[in-house]
Structure formats: C-alpha cells, structure tokens
Chain A
Amino acid sequence: MPLKTLVFWLGLVGACAGGPAASETAITITYVKQEVERPPVLSNLDAIPEDEGWRGAEIGLQDNATTSKFLGQTWSLQERIVPVGGDLLAAGRESAAQTRFLIIDAPREGLLALADLAELEDALLFNVAAEEPDLRDEACRANVLHTATSLTMRSDALMQFLALRRWSDLAMITGPHASDMAFAEALRGSARKFGLKIKGEKEWRFDANMRRAASAEVPLFTQELPDHEVLLAADEIGDFARYLPYNTWDPVLLAGSEGLRPLGWSHVMEQWGAVQLQNRFEDHAGRNMRPKDYAAWAAVRALGEAVTRTASDDPNVLRAYMLSEEFELAAFKGRPLSFRSWNGQLRQPIPVVHPGAVVAVAPLEGFLHPTSELDTLGLDAPQSRCTAFSE
C-alpha cells in the first residue's frame, strides 16, 4: 500500500495556543421571520409549530455561547416577526441598523427583497426556509448563504436511494399548490438524472373528506396509473398524501412527501452523535427537531465556527472563511459540512427516512463525484448559472 502522510507543522501558528481569539468580540444575530398564510389541509394531526426554526437558532446560540465563554466572545440572538401582510423590508432595514448577521425565515420573494436591500448589501443572510432551486442558481445573491436544503438536493437524495434499490418504475401524484408543483418538478429532474422513469402522473383534485372517503376513492384513483413499483407524492403542504398508504390499487411503496421522505433533518436521526443534539433540542423546545430547526441551528453554528476560527466579526472575513476550503462544520451528519463556493449552499448529507427510522443517508455508495460526493446532491458547479459568487 502506498503510504502518503500529511504532517502539518504548526510552529507558525503556535501563538494561538492557550486561548486564541482573546479579543472581545460581541456578535448579534437577528432572526427575521415572515409569517405566511398556510392553505387549509384535510387533517390537523400534525400542526406546524409556531416556533419552527427559531428554536434551532436558540440551541445554536447556546452552543456558540458555551464555546465563546472560553474565548472572550459574547453572542446574542433576537427575533423579529413580521405578520402576514406586514412590512418585511422595514424589519430588514431596522435589523440592518443593529447587526450584520441575519437569519431569514421567509418565502423566496421575501428573501430576495431583503437580500437586495442596500442596507444589507454587506451583511450576511442565512436562508433557513426557502428551498427553491433558482435561489442557488440564476437568482443567487452574494450576501445569502443557504443552510436550508434545496428541493433538488432532497429529490436527488430520494432518487439515489430508489436507483440503488433498482426500483426504477415510478408514478406520481401531485397536489395543486405551487410548493407541490415545485417539488414535483424537482422529482422529475432527479428521476431523469439517475435514470428512473416516472411512467404516469395524476393531479390530486378531490374535494371529498378523505378521512372518510380515502378507502373508496384512492384505489380507483390510483388504478388508472401505469404499472409502478413506487408511488411518489408531491404534497409539500401535507394535505392529501397521508391518505395514500394502504389505499392504493396495487401494493406499492410510497415516497416523496409521504412514506419514504428525503429531509434535511428528522428526529429519527440517531447516528453520529445526533441523539445528543436531539436531546438538547427536545429539552429546550419540548418537541421534535424539524428540518427548519436544523437549518437555523446550522446557520448559527456555521457563523460561530467562523468567528471562533478567524477571531473576527467582519462579515466579509467571515463570509470568505465560510466559503473557503478551510471551513468545516461538525453537524451530526457523519461528515464535515461546508459551503459550495459557487452559490453559497451548505453541502450536507440528506437522510432518507420513514416515520420510524432512517433508511439511508445520501450521498449513497456508488454515486461518485470528482471533488465531493456531497455534490452529487443538488445543483453542481458546472450546471450553476450563479455568477454572484465568482467575483
């Protein structure tokens, strides 16, 4: 076996021992949340918590604060909630007067409007909510880093798993909402990318009460689909897909928004010390940790890691460090996370889960990439039309 050894002598940076970054640094993060109206859903069994995202940021701040007390840094977090129809840009301007570091929990349009505010031009915005692929592509912004997964990262993760299992005959049922259609589009693209076939599609358009009618309606509805092994559901608002399992005409597997789901985070993650994060979160929030909580936690921790390593509070220095190859974040997903230097997306493994356990964690074995296997998930550099990061 050829032995290659890397030894880095650290004499040059020896000065940092015994407490690097002894300077007094105070970092304030503002969490800006745009409240949104959600369309009504058939069942209220799984309400979305009001504090989704925010609680993750709080845990991240506690982690940062514990680290920084050894380094003479202080951290604070404040929340700014903009009600439906409220003035998001005013909140952005007010926040800009207080901090250069913002977590943005807003839909695509709100995120872009904030990113384009002159007052926030040299700030660092972390997107923890918007999954639209174009935000990582032609609509990218230099001052926005994405710790939220993109739809295509998630759909690629699911399709890698289906390809690995050789379940290549698929059908899909899509809801009528924009978020459903966007996820469906991502699933179609990923199926093509990994050589799977969506043989038939139907749009969900029932107005019956499915709590009573699913067993009568769904078998007939799915009977018309061509033969398939896996039925995909694109139902990102959680409306109808819960009524599909066991009601399909054929005994098929469910995936997508129901059954087997690709998610940025799930409370069934246990490996790689994830239990520790889950425990801290559950003690703090009194509920399970959700993908947006994880994205917000990762945003605060990424900033914390950059501040710790650079001993700086300059957003330009921190941004450059986070986008460099030096940056790595230990984040309970089994390998270091880093940012894609061409569009600011946090590279991360995507768990593919069912409600009781993790089934797989993408990238999966055999999906190769010249630089990082994590870049088999979502938009890769050669395809990216994002230019804001190339200066």
Chain B
Amino acid sequence: MKRLLSTLSCFALLAALPATASEIWVTNEHDDTISVIDIETLEVVRTIETGERPRGITFSKDYSVVYVCASDSDTVQVIDPETGEILHDLPSGEDPEQFVLHPDNRHLYIANEDDAITTVVDTVERKVIAQIDVGIEPEGMAVSPDGKIAITTSETTNMAHWIDTETHQLFANTLVDARPRHAEFAKEGSELWVSSEIGGTVTVFAVADQTPLAKISFEIKGVHQDNIQPVGFEFSADGKTAFVALGPSNHVAAVNTETYEVEDYILVGRRVWHMAFSPDHSMLFTTNGVSGDVTVIDVASRTPVKTIKVGRFPWGAAVRP
C-alpha cells in the first residue's frame, strides 16, 4: 500500500510537470524501428533504428535504458532513451521474442522462440546466467511481484511453465488453451493470467497452487468466434479492469477482474496486439499490427479517441514517463 501511495504521488508530481512530456515507445516489427509517441501531442516525435525484427520492449525500472528484443539479430539491444543510441547488445540466445525484467532491475528473462528455451541474462555482467528448457515457441513472459516466480508460456506446447527464480528449475507446467501468447501476474501476485490466442480464452490461475480459477471467453456481435484471438493485456491502475487485445477481431475487451466478466468491447485498429498505459493510466495505447497504427483509448470512457500512424507491423509498446 505504501508503494502504491508513493507511486500515486509520483504520478501526481508528473501531472504537475507537463514540460517533461511522457512517451509511448512502439516497436515496428517489419521496419526495424521504434516509433516514439509524445503523450501530450499524440504524435510520433522520433523514429529510432534498431536491429532486425524488434518485438519485445521494456524500460529499466529507473528508465535510464530501454531493452529491445531484436529477434532476427539474435540479440537484446540496450538503448539510451535520451539519444536513441544503441549502447550495447546483450547476449540473449537465439531469436529473442519477448522478455520481462525481474524486480531486481538486473535480470532479464527472455523467451527464445526458435529454441524452446528461456534465457536468463544478467544485464550488469552482460552474460547469460541460465538457460531453461521450456515448450515449443516460448513467448509470454512474466515475473511475480516478489520476484520468486518467472513464467514462460509456450505457443505450440500450450503450457505455462513455472520457473523458480532461485534455482532456475521448472516447478510446474500447466496446460492452457491453444497458443498461449501473454502472461501477467495480478492481484499482488496471487493470480496469474494467461491469454490463449487460438483457444480464444484467458485462463486465470491461483498462484499458490497453480490451479485454474476461471476461464474467460469473449463474444463480439458480428465477429466470427475464430477471429477473436486474445493476445496482450494490461491491468488498470486500480487493478479492477483488465484490457485484453483480441487480435483480428479488432477489439479490446474490458474485463472485470473480480467477476471475470467482460464489460465492454472497444473498437481499435486491425489485428490488435499489445498495449501500454500512459503514466497516469488515463490513456491506453494499442499496437495494431495489420493497419500499422496505434489506437489511443480514453480509459475512463472506454472509447477510442485517436489513431496514430506508426511503422509497419507495430508489435510491442512501453511507456516512458
């Protein structure tokens, strides 16, 4: 609670300082660039070149560097957010797709899509400290808030793999519906949410015993069930709502995290993929892979307010306050 308060006061501080414009960083998978969107003007203000096929993107906890999975360059690039300069590459294993930064701000857990491996990298020593065998085509990555559990989901094996971050051993493997894409811990680490793209569902697990608590399905009038494909999702600041990107259905669902019921569907661009909130969580930015743009959603009213053209195949999104 204390941390939440300090976070909130931090937001309040930022709100009072409009001069330091916040940004949304979007990786463009087929352009080998990052589009930087200014949250004040809602326009692309910078385009930064990266390695080949940039996908996962995340900032260090202090926002001093940004990490980018350059999948086809087989590396994680470390970029100075001020200058856009590539500072150095990290060893990442082959074809890094998605990753998550441990709460210790030092260890990256990376899904190596082509190798069925999760790689743990020490960003300070710049070396691989562990490689863990997981299922085919690992993608979704999450770390529990206490840092004790890392999750990898594997798209073809259809599992969430539970990794003990102390021992780097798997301690559980839980089946989910077909083609899991994304994982997040919720409710202070007591729940794990996993989206299944082809299964069309989100499975919620109790972290304590890895049992499934609920399975969320979606239904949009006029859209064939097969085209409702959950991929990325994020939780609102109060944790009460999950926003779930539904791929080629071109909608984002707003899900009540207490009842697991869908409350709204929000129309966005084509093949919506991942998303990031503005620092105050009042705006949500979705990457739309096929239409090559970003939809800005007003979170309070749950309506799309603007479309911003970015590069080809926007994939990941991250906020820089």
Chain A residues with CB below 8 A from B15, complex form: none
Chain A residues with CB below 8 A from B205, complex form: 17
Whether the Cβ atoms of A17 and B210 lie closer than 8 Å is yes
> How far does the alpha carbon of A176 sit from the alpha carbon of B145 in the complex, in Å?
68
Whether the Cβ atoms of B212 and A14 lie closer than 8 Å is yes
B96 on the A face (CB < 8 A): no
Whether the Cβ atoms of B137 and A13 lie closer than 8 Å is no
Whether the Cβ atoms of B172 and A19 lie closer than 8 Å is yes
Q: In terms of DSSP, what is the predominant structure of the interface of chain B?
A: loop
Whether the Cβ atoms of B114 and A63 lie closer than 8 Å is no
> How far does the alpha carbon of A239 sit from the alpha carbon of B198 in the complex, in Å?
39
Partner of A10, one of B135, B209, B214, B218: B214
CB distance from B193 to the nearest CB of A (A): 14
CB distance from A179 to the nearest CB of B (A): 32
B213 on the A face (CB < 8 A): yes
Chain B residues with CB below 8 A from A309, complex form: 175
A318 on the B face (CB < 8 A): no
Partner of B156, one of A1, A10, A18, A63: A63
Partner of B226, one of A10, A19, A62, A336: A336
Whether the Cβ atoms of A276 and B226 lie closer than 8 Å is no
B217 on the A face (CB < 8 A): yes
Whether the Cβ atoms of A273 and B221 lie closer than 8 Å is no
CB distance from A351 to the nearest CB of B (A): 16
Digit string of A1-24 for contact with B (CB within 8 Å is 1, else 0)? Answer: 111111111100110111110000
Whether the Cβ atoms of B178 and A4 lie closer than 8 Å is no
With A280-B114, A335-B198: A67-B135 Cβ-Cβ less than 8 Å: yes
Whether the Cβ atoms of A18 and B137 lie closer than 8 Å is no
Chain B residues with CB below 8 A from A276, complex form: 113-114, 137, 155
> How far does the alpha carbon of A5 sit from the alpha carbon of B219 in the complex, in Å?
7
Interface residues contributed by chain A, number (CB under 8 Å): 39
Whether the Cβ atoms of B155 and A330 lie closer than 8 Å is yes
A312 on the B face (CB < 8 A): no
> How far does the alpha carbon of A2 sit from the alpha carbon of B220 in the complex, in Å?
9
A314 on the B face (CB < 8 A): no
> How far does the alpha carbon of A67 sit from the alpha carbon of B155 in the complex, in Å?
11
Partner of B157, one of A13, A16, A66: A66
B308 on the A face (CB < 8 A): no
With A18-B209, A67-B159, A70-B159: A8-B174 Cβ-Cβ less than 8 Å: no
A329 on the B face (CB < 8 A): yes
B232 on the A face (CB < 8 A): no
Offer 10 A-B interface pairs, CB within 8 angstroms, sorted by A.
Answer: A3-B262, A3-B264, A7-B215, A7-B261, A13-B212, A18-B174, A66-B135, A66-B136, A336-B178, A336-B200
Binding site for B on A (CB under 8 A): 1-10, 13-14, 16-20, 62-63, 66-67, 70-71, 273, 276, 279-280, 301, 305, 308-309, 328-330, 334-336, 372-373
Binding site for A on B (CB under 8 A): 113-114, 116, 135-137, 154-159, 161, 170, 172-175, 177-179, 197-200, 203, 205, 209-219, 221, 224, 226-227, 248, 259-265
- In the complex, besides A10-B214, A18-B210, A372-B226, 10 extra interface pairs with C-beta distance below 8 angstroms are A6-B219, A7-B214, A7-B260, A9-B214, A10-B212, A17-B211, A19-B174, A330-B178, A330-B197, A334-B248
